[in-house]
A and B are shown apart, each in its own frame.
Chain A
Amino acid sequence: MITASGITKTYKQRGNLLGARAVPALRGVDFAIERGGAVTFIGESGCGKTTLGRIVAGLETYDSGDIVIDGTPMSSLKPRHREPFFRRIQLIHQDPYSALNPTRTIHQTLAAPLALRAKQTGRGKAWMEERARELLALVGIDPGYVLPRYPHQLSGGMRQRVVIARALTVDPEVLVADESVSMIDVSLRLGVLALLKDLRERLNVSVLFITHDIATARYIGGDGELYVIYRGQVVESGPTERVISGPVHPYTQSLLSAIPVLHGVERPGPERVVPTEALNEAHPDTGCLFARRCPFRTDQCEAEAPPLVSDGEQSHACYHPKRRDVIPVEAVA
């Protein structure tokens, strides 16, 4: 169980004569991942979802707030004592083409973390060999074919599976998948998604899924929690299926409305929402962060920031929450 509370992160941009400009990437984010659960972060590029994933995986520091892993707050530990905790959380990179060392065979790539594991558990070379084969079989590729090969000899889908196998070498409890299928061919995408879903069920691994494609979130973690992030803040959250079918925040509605409709298979939702402007980091930080782009804004929105309120399941940060039918409707043949 991982609980994050009030995570903030501000990047300092190198400034001009007037000094450095602070870019807030995260403005106090709370969430929890349960064992075997699925948590999805969605949002536009630049909303801070990737930063959040890297913080959870221990690859990035945070300014304030805390991450509690199985009851141990990370802020109470020295960096080197945090390592064993963060090792249980593994990041699957977005780009399988650059995530593997091109000068190493897949065998070498898997051997390094396995050697660490073998040392920890007092097992030998034979176990490493066996485990490497077992892991590759687990992610659905033929170990005999893949092990002696270099990354460039494999297809994108295979590479992504190798990346997942490598993440599994240290027996993680959480996989952080950051846009893990966006670089893969369409017909192979669902296979990788199905693999992640399968790993959740078989190994009881939790998946933290970071994406801008909400439909894939529905496939992997339909039973999990969804967090909609906008400019470093959670604006809506709740059970994935519930948020998708009944979004109340205009930003969630904009994201859902933007998903292309497969005309012929489905019809567009009747109340699609289009933001009035494009994302602009220069928009003021006062009031609701989405106000400038929101078609339903009032004076109150620009003056005061709406708090995140919850009905027990679904939370939203909006003064004028209203359910709208924005997702496509299946066309009846």
Chain B
Amino acid sequence: MTRTSAPGVRVKDLTVVYKTPAGELPALGGVSLSLAPGTITGIVGESGSGKSTLALSLLNAVQPPGRIKEGVVDIDGLGNVVELTGEELRRARGRQVGYVFQAAQNSLNPLKTVGKQLLDLGRSHDFDDLPALLKDARALLGRMGLDGGRVLDSYQHELSGGMRQRVGIMFALVLNAHLVVLDEPTTALDMITQAAILKIVRDVHHERGLTTLIITHDMGVAAEVTDSLAVMYGGRVVEHGPTTEVLGSPRHPYTKGLIRAIPRLSGDIDEARALPGRPPTLGTIPKQGCVFRERCPMRIAVCDTVDPEPVTRDARTVACHAVGRPATPVVPKEYV
């Protein structure tokens, strides 16, 4: 079964734990997130925020010692990915969900040419018409401004960082997957190459009618290409909404702090402020209460004990006790 339209994705209460000597520690603590069909969603977070774990969960590819403890990842045309196993899962990967790995330079086989690796991919997915696959790949690479024939005959060391990244995108799309996950697509690339890759991502997304998920630590990258933006911290999605709104009027104190910590070219540079403290690691994520409270300027008493539930209002989701509700309960005044 091959879908021709962009699938929607619904992640619900996803908890992923990693087994450590200190017990099972949650990398994702009950994450819920929907990707609307045909949109580009960005997930922004620092190292240890769980963003890559979330992306891997879409393929049910969390590696031991990690495991999906509970939750549902429902992808149109595939069903609940968490329940897929073995052969079914292998076929879905690549066919329905394309994945562009972080550091594309390390995800290619150094001993085989790109073309040979492409043929391997085709055979493992039982493609009969391998010449057509090569033709598609050449067209895709050509679309991204590369000489397709030359690239397919190259080993990875013969390609530059920007070229390898484009090869990674080609691999994700060549089997006609309509859900594409890009994990840090432009890390380690310089600005001009980054801008070129982001333009390709956006153009290909629209041309082929994809649902795209971009994982990045760089707010700028997310701002440049995404329609919808989710901010992760300590294994939770703390804010999610339309990109321009989240950036223009951030609600969660972490989002606010993160945006203020970006030196920009416009405006007064001295308004940039560092966020105090440092992000939690797997071992230091608090067991109860809000994960961000240690660094939060809006901390109130309830933050120490209760993990804030995500609340959705006007297409914006925020998980914060201090946002969107009055600090003290409003009691209707009785006038005399």
Contact B262 A215 (CB under 8 A): yes
Q: Which of B47, B190, B223 contacts A185 (CB 8 A)?
A: B47
Interface string of B223-245 (1 = CB under 8 A from A): 11000000000000000000111
Residues on A with C-beta less than 8 A from B249 are 264
B185 interface residue, CB < 8 Å from A? no
A222 interface residue, CB < 8 Å from B? yes
CA distance A27 to B131 in the complex (A): 47
Most buried by B among A45, A213, A331, A333: A45
Contact A261 B223 (CB under 8 A): yes
B79 interface residue, CB < 8 Å from A? no
B195 interface residue, CB < 8 Å from A? yes
Q: Which of B92-100, B110-118, B132-140, B270-278 contacts A (4 or more CB under 8 A)?
A: B270-278
B142 interface residue, CB < 8 Å from A? no
Q: Given A187-B258, A258-B192, A279-B192, do A266 and B267 touch, yes or no (CB 8 Å)?
A: yes
Q: Given A260-B218, A262-B247, A263-B247, do A187 and B275 touch, yes or no (CB 8 Å)?
A: yes
Contact A328 B265 (CB under 8 A): yes
Interface residues of A in 150-207 (CB under 8 A from B): 155-158, 185-191, 193-194
Q: Given A258-B194, A264-B244, do A327 and B265 touch, yes or no (CB 8 Å)?
A: yes
Residues on A with C-beta less than 8 A from B195 are 257-258, 260, 274
Q: Which of B190, B219, B263 contacts A218 (CB 8 A)?
A: B263
CA distance A219 to B272 in the complex (A): 8
Residues on A with C-beta less than 8 A from B265 are 214-215, 218, 244, 256, 259, 327-328
Contact A189 B264 (CB under 8 A): no
B220 interface residue, CB < 8 Å from A? yes
Interface size class of A (residues with CB under 8 A): 35 or more
Interface residues of B in 157-172 (CB under 8 A from A): 160-162
Q: Given A218-B265, A244-B265, do A331 and B248 touch, yes or no (CB 8 Å)?
A: yes
- Closest chain A residue to B221 by CB distance? A260
B145 interface residue, CB < 8 Å from A? yes
Number of A-B contacts defined by CB within 8 Å: 139
- Closest chain A residue to B189 by CB distance? A45
Contact A265 B259 (CB under 8 A): yes
- Closest chain A residue to B276 by CB distance? A191
Q: Which of A186, A244, A278, A333 contacts B248 (CB 8 A)?
A: A333
Contact A261 B192 (CB under 8 A): no
Residues on A with C-beta less than 8 A from B162 are 278
Q: How far is the CB of A309 from chain B (nearest CB, A)?
A: 25
Q: How many residues of B contact A (CB 8 A)?
A: 45
Contact A264 B217 (CB under 8 A): no
Contact A264 B220 (CB under 8 A): no
B59 interface residue, CB < 8 Å from A? no
CA distance A194 to B198 in the complex (A): 29
- Closest chain B residue to A281 by CB distance? B160
Residues on A with C-beta less than 8 A from B247 are 262-265
CA distance A188 to B275 in the complex (A): 7
Residues on B with C-beta less than 8 A from A190 are 261-263, 272-275
B257 interface residue, CB < 8 Å from A? yes
CA distance A222 to B162 in the complex (A): 30
CA distance A265 to B268 in the complex (A): 13
Q: Which of B193, B220, B275 contacts A259 (CB 8 A)?
A: B220
A23 interface residue, CB < 8 Å from B? no
B84 interface residue, CB < 8 Å from A? no
- Closest chain A residue to B266 by CB distance? A330
Contact B192 A44 (CB under 8 A): yes
Q: How far is the CB of B243 from chain A (nearest CB, A)?
A: 6
Residues on B with C-beta less than 8 A from A218 are 263, 265, 269
Closest 6 CB pairs of A and B: A260-B220, A264-B248, A264-B247, A264-B244, A258-B195, A190-B274
Given contacts A187-B278, A189-B261, 4 further A-B contacts (CB under 8 A): A188-B279, A191-B275, A259-B220, A264-B246
- A-B contacts, 30 of them at CB < 8 A, read A44-B190, A44-B191, A155-B278, A185-B47, A185-B217, A186-B261, A188-B275, A188-B278, A189-B274, A190-B272, A190-B275, A212-B191, A215-B262, A215-B263, A215-B264, A219-B272, A254-B192, A255-B191, A257-B195, A260-B221, A262-B219, A262-B220, A262-B262, A264-B223, A264-B245, A264-B247, A264-B249, A265-B264, A279-B193, A327-B266
